[in-house]
Structure formats: structure tokens, C-alpha cells
Structure 1
């Protein structure tokens, strides 16, 4: 994600990338040739203290977030952070408190915050009737996924796993549309031969107010990769599949919903972040308090 957002930000009309730092020097080596005009800092302090820096994007592994993000906020910089907000709940609360105390723009990069299918469901909520429930289903033939294979920390339970990395997006979506989630019965399974590894299964029963929410997720299974979020309504139900495909049912077969406008991407979320820096508060951008609520739910699965 750091590499992708760097690429997008370098070509974005509202941003100029002036400093890059990574806790892993090899990560810098992978992007240095593509960004020859960008200075590579030796310490994160060189970024957050730089007078020509107005905002900092964080894509370090989540155990590093709190210290680095709070330093940037204290220096008066706006912050755009990858999810999860943090691993330790005390760290997440410290980040939220720092952003509120210093009054800077602080946002989290949830991919579904401005996805066109999500915005369409949000517009159509009055047509759903009574909301009867939500289902979240995730399948991963392998974890970490192929494009993440160099990020070895994702395979370990200390700060990785698909509950933090992927389920968090759908917890955010449910929280946004239906309100905060309360875990009722949640948990994960880890490999018997490596209990320190990331989870291989997650199951959960939660409530958003009175609405039941079910989670079923597996990795390392002989099945296609799958991401499904279903909103069950008494009049209409909606299925968001594989991040961008939206389908609707009024009791019959699922039928595709035609979507218009931008799909939602790192580029559009950076535009929303620029608006937040300018003092506006776009709904299409996740804030720190909502990310903390997501973190609290996610960590309840892993506790």
C-alpha cells in the first residue's frame, strides 16, 4: 500500500511528495528509482519535523503507527494512516486523543469509505425496509495474499492476519451504515502446529443495535478468493461482492446494480484527504474515532 499510495500521490494534483521514510531500507530501495526527485529521510523524525511537510501518510506495519502518528500530529501535521489504526487499544486511543487535542486532519485509509457500491447502498437504505441482518464472508486460498508475500509480518499473529487487514474494512462498512458494533460471541482459530501464526479461521456473532451481524472467514482453503458483505432487508437486500460488484434482490434472483461516477480509489481518497486538510469533513473519508471503534471490534476477535 505504501508503494501504491506513493505512486498515486506523486501524480496527484493536490499533493507534492517531498519526503519518504521506511522502517525497512529494502522498501526504500524498491521505490527509489521510480521517484528520483523525492528525498529519502534517515529517520521518521526527519519527515514529521520538516517545514515543507504539511501532511504525512503512514503505511508502516501497525505496531509502528502510534509512536509515529502521534509525533506527526504533535508537530501539527495532518495524517492519513493505513488501517488498522493500531494493534494495542491503548495506542489507538492515544492516537485519537492526540488528533482531537491538536485539531489536525486525521483520516484512515479504509478502501470502502468512498467505493461507489457503498455510496449507492447508503443512498438506497430507505428502500431496504426493516434491516434483518448482515453477513460477512471472506475466503483466502492463501494468506498473506500473493501481492503481500514480501510483508512477512502479515503472516504472524502479533500484528498481521486477515481479521486486522481485511475484515476491518467490512466492520467499518457495517459501523458506518448501521452504527457501532457490539461483539457477542467472536473468536479465531490458529494453526495447531504454529500458534503464533495469524488466524486460519474467524467466526463471529455481533450486533449493530438490534441488527444481528454474522462473520465467517477462512484462509488456506481450496476455494476461490471471496469478499462478500450482505445487507438483508425486509423489502430489498444488497450484496457487495469482491469490493466493487453490487447486486440487489427484492425476493428473486440477485441482479446487478448499475453504478455511475468514480469507483473510489487511493486517488479519490487522497482528494477527500486534501478536503479534510482544507477544513472540510467529507463523509467519504474514515476518521480516527470510527477507526478506533473498528479496532476495538477486530481485537475482540483476537483477544
Structure 2
């Protein structure tokens, strides 16, 4: 198997996760890394001995042994780094959301597609065994998919393990709609072949100024199947992340990202879907790297394209700019 070299730009939570997962990959190795924060670079170097730290983002991207650039920085910096990778002739694997400004992302997608370089955006559901099982189920006419319901709730935002990513608390590029609900907008887009926004409402706290949203409620038409998407921050209840796919006689519930349950007359409280990995999180991340290797090899793969990510971004930004919000 050919081994491809990766540059990891951004060494926060998701960048470090990539370092961990790539260390177990047979087809990818991290050959350069960089973060704009000296403290973050020092911490990563200490925690990952031998990590080849570059002097700048340009140095990390332009190394001859780099085949693909993983862009793991906050959204407002995506476009600049993606364009650097394109200029260097490197494949791109970009974190979601693709961006915040839709017009800028439209121009970026056009440039990336015109380059002919391999490109993908990181929506991990694309590599999930649970989502594969869900896709097969709802594609069966006997299931009779009639509605989709997505609900998320957070005790606090950002979550405690995201405390260092202060940008997540700001409306200009953060918030749980872009960070979490975008995954489910992508999911219904992939499973149903698209969606139309039928209505949206969002709320922001009066202070501090520029803080991200605290509640959203959304109605979608997913190729004839109605869907509701809602989220809220606050309260003492445990965090909740789930999507329900309602059939004629039973349901499938996707929760905690990688868990799929069957709800029916036999198991109204739910039972695990059979045949899924014992460690679904690790399995999904390793499969993602296998799909990235396939992309780089010119083979079929399941990773989302920049064009798919743009469709999701259009929907997400429309949710966050509902009629009546002060601009």
C-alpha cells in the first residue's frame, strides 16, 4: 500500500485527534504540522514526540513529501489555507464548516474544482458503520420513512472539553449550529439527496455582544420527507445529540454520534442495531482515513466533496440569518 504524507494545519482538538488516528494508519503519515499558537505547538510537540513541526503554515504545506493538507483551523481561516494548498498542488481535506460567507465559499469551491486536485470535507458520518446501516434501512420501501427529527441540547456551549476553542462561543464563526447541527444537515442531504429549508428561527443571548446562538428550530423538506431540527443551550439536563428516523412501524435512533438503536413494538425503549463495531468511534476514524487514502489513490470513496459542504453551508447560514434578525 502506498503511504501518503499529510500536513496537519491546526493542532487544537480535531488536529490532535488526527495525529492520534494517523499514527495507527497503514496508508497515511503526518510529515509536517503547524499551529499559529506557540503554546499549542509546544504542547503538541511534547505530547507527540517526533512530530515534525514546521516554521510556518507555508513551510508545512509546501514540503515535497506532503500529498494532502488537513485544514483543522477555525472556519474564517479555511479559505486562505485551502488556497495555499491549491497553489502548492496538494490535495485538501478540510474541516467543516467549509466557511461562513457563502459567496466566498462559492468562489473557493469553483477554484478547488477547477484545480482538479483531490478534495474532501470532514463530516465523519460519511465513514460511520451506523450511518451505513441507517442508509440501508431507510432505502428499503418496507421501512416507510415518514419523518426525521434531530434534537441537540447542551448544558453549556462551548462544552468543557472545547474550552480552549474560544471562537466556538462567537457568532461570527462559532455556535452549535455550525459545529454540531451541520453534521445532521449533511446527513439528511446525503441520505435524501438534498433538502429545502421551509422555516427557521434562532435566538441569541443579549450579552455578551457577539455571542453565538442559544436556540434554533428548523423545518426541512428532505425530498418529500419532513424533518425538524432543533437545538438549545442551558439547563441542568445532560447533553443530548440524537436523530430519529421514523418509519411506518418502527424507528431508528442515531445517538452519541456512533450509536444506532431500533425502536419497535418488541423494544419500545430501544435495542442496539446488530453488526456494528464494538468500538464505533475508533472504527469510524480509521475508516475515514481509509476513505482518504482511496481519494488520494483515485479510487471510489465516501468522503463529502467541497460541493456537498457548500450545500450544507448554505442551509446552515440561512438558519442563522432568519428574517427579522438584526444584521
Instruction: Normalising by structure 1, report the TM-score.
Output: 0.94
SS at match of 2:60: helix
Equivalent residue number for residue 246 of structure 1: 260
Equivalent residue number for residue 211 of structure 1: 225
Match of 2:203 among 183, 186, 189: 189
User: Is the Cα contact below 8 Å between 1:128 and 1:235 reproduced in 2?
Assistant: no
Structure 1: runs of 5 or more not aligned: none
Using the TM superposition, give the Cα deviation of residue 215 of structure 1 relative to its aligned residue in structure 2, in angstroms.
1.1
Using the TM superposition, give the Cα deviation of residue 20 of structure 1 relative to its aligned residue in structure 2, in angstroms.
0.8
1:259 equivalent in alignment to 2:278 = no
Using the TM superposition, give the Cα deviation of residue 67 of structure 1 relative to its aligned residue in structure 2, in angstroms.
1.0
Equivalent residue number for residue 6 of structure 2: none
Deviations 1:182-233 (A, max 9, x none): 1111131111223410111111111112211101111122211111101112
1:199 equivalent in alignment to 2:213 = yes
Equivalent residue number for residue 165 of structure 2: 151
Using the TM superposition, give the Cα deviation of residue 87 of structure 1 relative to its aligned residue in structure 2, in angstroms.
1.3
Match of 2:176 among 158, 162, 169: 162
Using the TM superposition, give the Cα deviation of residue 250 of structure 1 relative to its aligned residue in structure 2, in angstroms.
4.1
1:300 equivalent in alignment to 2:312 = no
Between stretches 54-63 and 40-49, larger displacement belongs to 40-49
Match of 1:124 among 137, 144, 167: 137
User: Is the Cα contact below 8 Å between 1:127 and 1:236 reproduced in 2?
Assistant: no
Runs of 4+ in structure 1 off by over 6 angstroms are: none
User: Is the Cα contact below 8 Å between 1:80 and 1:108 reproduced in 2?
Assistant: yes
Match of 1:42 among 55, 69, 72: 55
SS at match of 2:29: coil
Between stretches 3-12 and 142-151, larger displacement belongs to 3-12
Equivalent residue number for residue 276 of structure 1: 295
Equivalent residue number for residue 125 of structure 2: 112
Equivalent residue number for residue 69 of structure 1: 82
Equivalent residue number for residue 305 of structure 2: 287
**Whole-angstrom distance in 2 between the partners of 1:149 and 1:219:** 15
Using the TM superposition, give the Cα deviation of residue 271 of structure 1 relative to its aligned residue in structure 2, in angstroms.
1.4
User: Is the Cα contact below 8 Å between 1:137 and 1:229 reproduced in 2?
Assistant: yes
**Whole-angstrom distance in 2 between the partners of 1:95 and 1:240:** 32
Please list, as runs of the form range in 1=range in 2, the aligned pairs for 1:93-112 lying within 5 A after superposition: 93-112=106-125
User: Is the Cα contact below 8 Å between 2:127 and 2:285 reproduced in 1?
Assistant: no
User: Is the Cα contact below 8 Å between 1:189 and 1:201 reproduced in 2?
Assistant: yes
Structure 2: runs of 5 or more not aligned: 1-13, 322-327
Please list, as runs of the form range in 1=range in 2, the aligned pairs for 1:46-61 lying within 5 A after superposition: 46-61=59-74
User: Is the Cα contact below 8 Å between 1:134 and 1:213 reproduced in 2?
Assistant: yes
1:226 equivalent in alignment to 2:226 = no
Aligned residues: 302
Deviations 1:78-120 (A, max 9, x none): 1111111111112322332222111121111112112121110
Match of 2:102 among 89, 95, 104: 89
Using the TM superposition, give the Cα deviation of residue 127 of structure 1 relative to its aligned residue in structure 2, in angstroms.
5.0
Equivalent residue number for residue 4 of structure 2: none
**Whole-angstrom distance in 2 between the partners of 1:206 and 1:119:** 22
SS at match of 1:143: coil
Using the TM superposition, give the Cα deviation of residue 251 of structure 1 relative to its aligned residue in structure 2, in angstroms.
5.1
The Cα RMSD (Å) is: 1.7
